[in-house]
Amino acid sequence: MCRVGFSGPFHAPDLAPGVATAARTRLHGAAGLSFAAVDGLVVILAGVAALGGGILVLRGYGSRFRVGRLLASAPSVTVAEALDIARGGRPAFVRVTGRLDSETDFEDLDHRPLVFRRTRFQARRAGAWTDFDIVREVVPFEVREGLDGIAIDTDALDDGLVVVPRETVGIVGDLGDRAPEDLDDTLPARVVVELVSNVEHATIAGVPALGPDGGPRLGAGLGRPLILTTLEQSEAMRILAGGSSARARAATILLVAAVALVVIGLVMLVLPGSAFAASPDPTAVTGSDTRSSGQGPGLVGAPLAAILGVAGVGILAMVLTLLFVRATGGPRRPDPPG
């Protein structure tokens, strides 16, 4: 039987002092580059990728995301305060809540008194619903709170209308003469009806201003649309999200992950990136003495790098905020007077 083994300590060949020092220096440099620079940059790039993914998800909502953001962020004022803003001539985008009222409402088939009805005739082409006809029926109305009331600029009411839609689905052929002749009769079609009743409470966000007749009214302005919803805010957000909050949660997770990854990456760049096990031989570590050369005690650590890191996080947060606002259609220039 043949046995393979060893007895006694295992000795590695000794390296010359110069060779050992050079090898240790190369090892320390490689480790520092890996952990303090390369890995940090990889984490930051992952954060930038997460930010891009979050922005893409939000842009998939189109104008609906901007409407939801404005509806949630507009400062709430009373109707009396909105009237003061309109007469004061200093425009501001605000939100009011009250009861809708009109003296010229009209009835639908269910005898509901309406102030606004929009009927969309749509066909499904290339995987998306597109309008081929829109019918608007509207009468002058206002929002009232107690004895105060302010008129609504009905001409400005478009993408900002957030109500529960009523849908009827079929094929183009079911619409008869309503459908254009160039549409295939077998294409899927639907009719979407959006109603605003005279007896409902509503939340309206817009800019109070004086209308052409000199009376105060609430309408679009400052680069923002007029928004009207008869729903609670949570239900309005669900309608704007298309009935599902999965995409909104995904966008939130991506944006939070983007900020976290970028901060972690900056920390990895600022903090030391390597540590070594104990060595049997004494090793002098450059910079371990807290005293400056011949000048007494000095600073411990790298305060300048820490300050720059904190400033970098702040600047990056500002840049990410600006990119987010720009990507989601943030504030624009005020509308020219008149």
Six-digit token string for 38: 């390369």
In this predicted structure, the answer to whether residue 283 has a pLDDT above a threshold of 90 is: no
**pLDDT tier at 203 (50, 70, 90 boundaries)?**
very high
Query: 35: burial class by Cβ within 10 Å (0-12, 13-18, 19+)?
Result: middle
Model confidence at 3, pLDDT cuts 50, 70, 90, reads very low
> How large is the average pLDDT for residues 50-60?
75
Q: Pick the closest to residue 164 from 220, 224, 239, 234 (CA basis).
A: 239
Relative to beta strand 296-297, strand 291-292 is: antiparallel
In angstroms, the CA 25 to CA 266 distance is 25
* Distance separating alpha carbons of residues 31 and 37, to the nearest angstrom: 10
**Structure confidence at residue 20 (pLDDT):** 46
pLDDT digits (tens, 9 = 90+) for 255-264: 888 888 888 8
Q: Pick 337 or 288 by higher pLDDT.
A: 288
Structure tokens at 92: 């501001």
What is 163-217 written as a DSSP string? Answer: ---EEEEEEGGGGGGGS-TTS-TTSEEEEEEEEEETT-EEEEEEEEEE-TTS-EE
Q: Which amino acid is present at 149?
A: G
Average pLDDT, the chain: 76
Average pLDDT over residues 11-17: 49
The pLDDT tens digits for 64-99 are 778 888 888 899 999 999 999 999 988 999 999 999
Band of residue 31 on the pLDDT scale cut at 50, 70, 90: very low
For strand 148-152 and strand 216-219, is the pairing parallel, antiparallel, or unpaired? parallel
Q: Average pLDDT for residues 208-235, to the nearest whole number?
A: 91
Residue range 144-177, pLDDT digits in tens? 998 999 999 999 998 899 998 899 999 998 988 8
Q: What is the pTM of this model?
A: 0.61
